[in-house]
A and B are shown apart, each in its own frame.
Chain A
Amino acid sequence: MDDLFVRVITKMILPFIQLYGVYVIIHGHLSPGGGFSGGAIFAASIVLYTLAFGLKPGQKRMPHKVSSKIETGGIIFFILVGFAGIATGYNFLTNQEAGFPMGELGSVFSAGLIPIVTIAIGLKVMSTIITLFHTMLEEEG
């Protein structure tokens, strides 16, 4: 789209959308949301950028190489965090007995491995949605 209004407003509002997405991801264990919704909100900002400025600038923002590495890194990080439970003698994905700090109820750094895993999920969902969008747009041209 070549509209001037859309481009100016997108540039102004983009950081706020991303900040909101990061907020939803980090507070996944305290309020509704979590990995999926936060990742989708964060991805919506890059999709908005692609829609306003065209496919090439959008792909420069999040190139294919970076997004594929984030996807793989997210899953491997999740699995390694799960293996920490096996390393200490309990089962896979153990939370409290494996030594993750639990913290106090209601603060951000609490509940053991849940915020760590939520961040991995959020990154992965974000990169997946952006890759899907860019791939579908590429097929047209």
Chain B
Amino acid sequence: MSNIHFPVYILMLLLIFAVTIPLQRKSYGRRFQILMVSVLGIAWIMALLELLMVLWDAPYSYTFGSYPAGIGIEFLVDEFSALMTLIVLTLSLLIIIYSLKDLEHEIESSRMYSYYTLVFLLIFSMIGMIFTNDMFNLYVFMEILSITSVAIIAIKKKKDTLMASMKYLMMGAIGSVTVLMGIALIYMVTGQLNMSAINEEISAVWRLYPRNILLAMGFMITGFSIKAAIFPLHNWLPDAHSTAPTPSSALLSGLVVKAYIFSIAKIMYRVVGKNISVDIGIADYLIIFAVLSMMMGSVFALTQRDIKRRLAYSSVSQIGYIFLGLALASEMGFSAALFHVVSHAFMKSALFLSAGSIIYLTGKRDVKNLDGIGYEMPITMTVFSIGVLGMIGIPGTSGFMSKWYLGLAVLDAGHPELLIVLLLSSFLNALYYLPIIVSAFLRESPGRPLEMHRDGIPGTMKVSMVLVAVGSLVIGLFPHLVMDIIQQAVPTFIGSGMGL
């Protein structure tokens, strides 16, 4: 049952559902929840069929309005876009199932409809950003993503949330404007907006305008780095991700930040091309920022006592890993970065969802108060432990596989000193994650006797957390499922247009 219109069907289904939510007359209840989950389920099935179709046949490009590619907007449907869309929809489905019960504690019931409208628009814009092959279309989807991702934080009207969302909005707006400046500079030189067409033009005119292209790349990478929270532009991330409602934190940390990194990858490799990126010297320069991100993110996480802030700083460090893989400018580095995108999405979502369950049941966010909670909520702490083991890099988890691939890529690119940085950062990860598990399972506290209970949280929350953890384990034990698709997609991604 293959159909080339699947990208459009997925996008339009999500958009139509998102705009009809405000018309619902009955108050928020069971019927709406079932309807929402089934709509997402249909979109998930279509994404799965899309991935199978691309794997069996060939990647294709879908032009809107049947205009030829240089004139109209084009969606490039290749293996990696289909895989990322499937991962986005899988995680969104699980997080929304989690949020059906969790949100009643966090926001008022009159805003539930608005929250789900925003979440559907967020998923819509992320899938659009992944598929698109046109620069200005990328900007439009990025703006929708920027506004909705601030809105799902600000919908919880506490004082901290308002200031955090204001900071995020301001920095996001500066980032968007900077990206638009970069797009204007590239349009000035080449006169095209389609990414593949720009690639051909740039390889022809690069010798004439080196300063212009360098300035354009600088603007665009800076703009996307502000939104992807690379050190030193990461200041908004801890406040925003820790004060948001738990499903929003999981969506933001797991999916939204990755969409921006994927756009940096598209610009460095599909628009400008790998050879020019290396010649200009941007690739080496970015390695410095990636290393700083990895180290400083972990160092700051050591001093945090609130559990969600610790997870948010850990996100900064993990995004440094992905950025390191991108900045190496080799096929192995890029494959390792994409694999870590997938595995970190699952691990960080598992961590945030289980931390949210702990806060749901006990209301305590400080790490010192979690002694003995492993016996009160065994399933939750097991999910948390799986996420932690993946973050540290214990063999058998997906985090270990991504560190392995990244280490191989670092050695292959001729930077053996970065291997020490990788090991040091894993050690720091262990320093601030392991005490939580140790005190949860092995220490006693006066209020909690050491007997096993069943978790006191609703069934939907348990099921979704366990499924996310199972997904992370599956990717860890059978990494070739994901890695094969990535390795099939990478050579066309990097080598397109320059005659490699």
A residues contacting B by CB (< 8 A) are 68-69, 71-72, 75-76, 79, 82-83, 85-86, 90-95, 97
Contacts and interface: CB of A to CB of B under 8 A. Distances in A.
Interface string B71-101: 0000000000000000000000000000000
28 contacts: A68-B22, A68-B23, A69-B23, A71-B22, A72-B19, A72-B20, A72-B22, A72-B23, A75-B15, A75-B16, A75-B19, A76-B20, A79-B12, A79-B15, A79-B16, A82-B12, A85-B65, A85-B66, A86-B5, A86-B8, A90-B66, A91-B5, A91-B62, A92-B5, A92-B64, A92-B65, A93-B64, A94-B66
B65 A91 contact: yes
B64 A76 contact: no
Contact of A71 (B12, B15, B19): B19
Contacts of A85: 65-66
Contact of B63 (A69, A72, A91, A97): A91
- For the side of the interface on B, what is the size category? 10 to 19
Contacts of A79: 12, 15-16
Given A72-B22, A76-B16, A90-B66, 16 more contacts: A68-B22, A69-B23, A72-B19, A72-B20, A75-B16, A76-B19, A82-B12, A85-B66, A91-B62, A91-B63, A91-B64, A92-B64, A93-B64, A94-B66, A95-B65, A97-B66
Interface in B1-50: 5, 8, 12, 15-16, 19-20, 22-23
A56 to B, nearest CB: 22
A60 to B, nearest CB: 21
Nearest to B23: A72
A94 B65 contact: yes
A79 B5 CA distance: 14
Contacts of B8: 86, 91-92
Contacts of B64: 91-93
Nearest to A98: B66
Contacts of B22: 68, 71-72
A1 B22 CA distance: 32
In the complex, the 10 A-B pairs of residues with the closest C-beta atoms, listed nearest first: A93-B65, A94-B66, A92-B8, A90-B66, A91-B66, A75-B19, A72-B19, A93-B64, A94-B65, A68-B22
Contacts of A86: 5, 8
A98 to B, nearest CB: 8
Interface hub of B5, B15, B23, B65 (most chain A Cβ within 10 A): B65
Nearest to B13: A79
Interface of B is mostly: helix
A64 to B, nearest CB: 10
Contacts of A75: 15-16, 19
Contacts of B66: 85, 90-91, 94, 97
A97 B67 CA distance: 10
A7 to B, nearest CB: 33
B500 to A, nearest CB: 30
A138 B430 CA distance: 51
A140 to B, nearest CB: 16
A78 to B, nearest CB: 10
B63 to A, nearest CB: 6
Contacts of A71: 19, 22
A99 B247 CA distance: 45
Contacts of B65: 85, 91-95
A90 B66 CA distance: 7
A103 to B, nearest CB: 18
A83 B13 CA distance: 12
A67 B62 CA distance: 34
Contacts of B12: 79, 82-83
Contacts of B5: 86, 91-92
Contacts of B15: 75, 79
A90 B72 CA distance: 14
A2 to B, nearest CB: 34
* Residue with the greatest number of chain B CB neighbours at <10 A, chosen from A69, A85, A90, A93: A93
Nearest to B62: A91
A97 B68 CA distance: 13
A95 B67 CA distance: 9
B114 to A, nearest CB: 12
Interface string B130-174: 000000000000000000000000000000000000000000000
B403 to A, nearest CB: 42
Nearest to B9: A86
Contacts of A91: 5, 8, 62-66
A138 to B, nearest CB: 14
Contacts of A92: 5, 8, 64-65
A108 B12 CA distance: 29
B489 to A, nearest CB: 23
A114 B19 CA distance: 22
A68 B23 CA distance: 7
Contacts of B23: 68-69, 72
A91 B67 CA distance: 9
Most B Cβ at <10 Å: residue of A69, A76, A97 = A76
A139 to B, nearest CB: 12
A40 to B, nearest CB: 18
Most buried by A among B5, B8, B15, B20: B8
Nearest to B73: A93
A93 B23 CA distance: 26
A86 B4 CA distance: 10
Contacts of A90: 66
A105 to B, nearest CB: 19
A83 B15 CA distance: 14
